[in-house]
Amino acid sequence: MIDLRSDTVTKPSAEMRAAMASAEVGDDVYGDDPTANSLEERVAALFGFEAALFTPTGSLANQLAIRQLVKPGEELITETFSHIVRAELGAGAAFSGITTRTWEAPLGALKSADPLRIARPDSGPYQVSTTAIAVENTHNFGGGTVQPIDEIKALRAASLKMGLTMHLDGARIWNAHIASGVSFLEYGRHFDTVSVCLSKGLGAPVGSIMLANKARVASARIWRKRYGAGMRQIGMLAAAGHFALDHNIKRLAIDHNHARSLASAVHAVAPRVVDPALVETNIVILDLAGCAISAAEINVELKNAGILASTVGPTILRLVTHLDVSSDEIAKVNSVLPELVERAFKA
């Protein structure tokens, strides 16, 4: 099967497995795992932060970060279809008493005026006060949208004047960096906390990193243990992260080219379904509104042809390219998917 459901489905290569097998390990709850410690130090330095914390999932990294910025009963604002509010199962409210409010943006693309318009800091004793703003880069459900650095800068400058903090959900910040050329340090300098994921485009089997100052990371380490995510000999997982950083960042450009190839092939037969010019990274969103059959039904036909994709709505089909999908496999998808889409609109 050609698996385009997500870049989370990647499997560690033989070389990555070898690095994992030879990793030096220790008890991370005691702070004794040298490979985990070195990975945390490396990623913190990469983004210009004082400290970092390894977590098993991106959701946990996000949740540990926002609870450092927002007290129970206070408000986090973010885009309507951001991962924090759509795909983390209400964790901010369930675990931290955080309330959220959202702004909606086409393709999830940030315009600083949008969050600033709804932000309400220092709202007094009768209304909820906004404390933090979360930005997702790239924006998953927006189709891998890269957030403009100028808009991030403008939002940071204005939000600081309002006394607000900012969190970056940078699960796919690696893709944003490759697509935009913006450095990791430049991204990091505009946020108080950052989460990055190692198990998506970079191909590690497990792991995300939360970044912040030393005090916030020390607090998050306690909460990680409290949530049941204190881990022991995690150096083998951290070694996969080191390998991913060493070998798998620059090659993300291949995934981006594959995604544009998929979009172009579909656009050739059904122009309104996808615009290749808007496919910036490794996620392709096909809008099948007006199609005679549902996205789920097309997905079944794809599976029968040996191709796995995902539906994220009745009319939305999502395909995600990654390091386990070859150019030959993309060519096969391009020989099947456009025909299915064209036939579906004629049905």
List helix spans (H) across the chain. 14-21, 34-47, 58-69, 83-86, 91-96, 113-118, 149-161, 173-180, 184-188, 214-226, 235-247, 252-269, 295-304, 327-346
Q: Please compute the mean of the pLDDT values over residues 47-74 and round it to a whole number.
A: 98
* Residue 56: pLDDT over 90: yes
Residue 104 burial by Cβ neighbours in a 10 Å radius (0-12, 13-18, 19+): exposed
Say which residue, 346 or 122, is predicted with more confidence.
122
Please state whether beta strands 208-212 and 193-197 pair in parallel, antiparallel, or not at all (unpaired).
Answer: antiparallel
Question: With bands split at pLDDT 50, 70 and 90, how would you rate the model's confidence at 46?
Answer: very high
Per cent of the chain over pLDDT 70 is 100
Distance CA 202, CA 219 (A): 28
pLDDT of residue 292: 84
Question: With bands split at pLDDT 50, 70 and 90, how would you rate the model's confidence at 279?
Answer: very high
* Joined tokens for residue 172: 């796919």
Q: Please compute the mean of the pLDDT values over residues 24-37 and round it to a whole number.
A: 97
- For residues 186 and 178, is the Cβ–Cβ distance under 8 A? no
* Residue 347: pLDDT over 70: no
pLDDT tens-digit readout, 159-170: 999 999 999 999
User: 94 Cβ partners below 8 Å, 6+ apart?
Assistant: none
Say which residue, 167 or 346, is predicted with more confidence.
167
pLDDT tens-digit readout, 197-218: 999 999 999 999 999 999 999 9
- For residues 43 and 196, is the Cβ–Cβ distance under 8 A? yes
Q: Specify the residue for token string 């000999």.
A: 233
Distance CA 180, CA 281 (A): 10
Please state whether beta strands 75-79 and 99-103 pair in parallel, antiparallel, or not at all (unpaired).
Answer: parallel
Question: With bands split at pLDDT 50, 70 and 90, how would you rate the model's confidence at 237?
Answer: very high
Superfamily covering domain 252-346:
Aspartate Aminotransferase, domain 1 (3.90.1150.10)
Distances (CA, A) of 269 to 133, 310, 331: 40, 21, 16
Helix axes 14-21, 235-247, angle to 10 degrees: 140
Q: Please compute the mean of the pLDDT values over residues 311-329 and round it to a whole number.
A: 96
Q: Please compute the mean of the pLDDT values over residues 272-285 and round it to a whole number.
A: 97
- Which listed CATH number (2.60.40.10, 1.10.287.1080, 3.40.640.10, 3.50.50.60) goes with 11-247? 3.40.640.10
- For residues 133 and 115, is the Cβ–Cβ distance under 8 A? yes
* Joined tokens for residue 15: 């070389």
Q: Where are the domains of the chain?
A: 11-247, 252-346
Question: With bands split at pLDDT 50, 70 and 90, how would you rate the model's confidence at 291?
Answer: confident
pLDDT of residue 346: 81
- For residues 288 and 317, is the Cβ–Cβ distance under 8 A? yes
Find how far residue 169's CA is from the centre of its chain.
Answer: 6
Do 11-247 and 252-346 fold alike per CATH?
no
* Joined tokens for residue 100: 């959220």
Question: With bands split at pLDDT 50, 70 and 90, how would you rate the model's confidence at 290?
Answer: confident
Torsion angle in degrees (nearest 10) through CA of 285, 290, 296, 297: -130
User: 134 Cβ partners below 8 Å, 6+ apart?
Assistant: 62, 66, 76, 77, 78, 82, 84, 166, 167, 168, 169
* Joined tokens for residue 102: 């959202």
* Residue 18: pLDDT over 70: yes
Rg of the Cα atoms in the chain: 20
Distance CA 190, CA 46 (A): 14
Q: Which of 74, 37, 62, 50 is nearest to 215 (CA)?
A: 50
Question: Is the peptide bond prior to 138 cis by the omega test (within 30 degrees of 0)?
Answer: yes
* Residue 335: pLDDT over 80: yes
* Residue 278: pLDDT over 90: yes
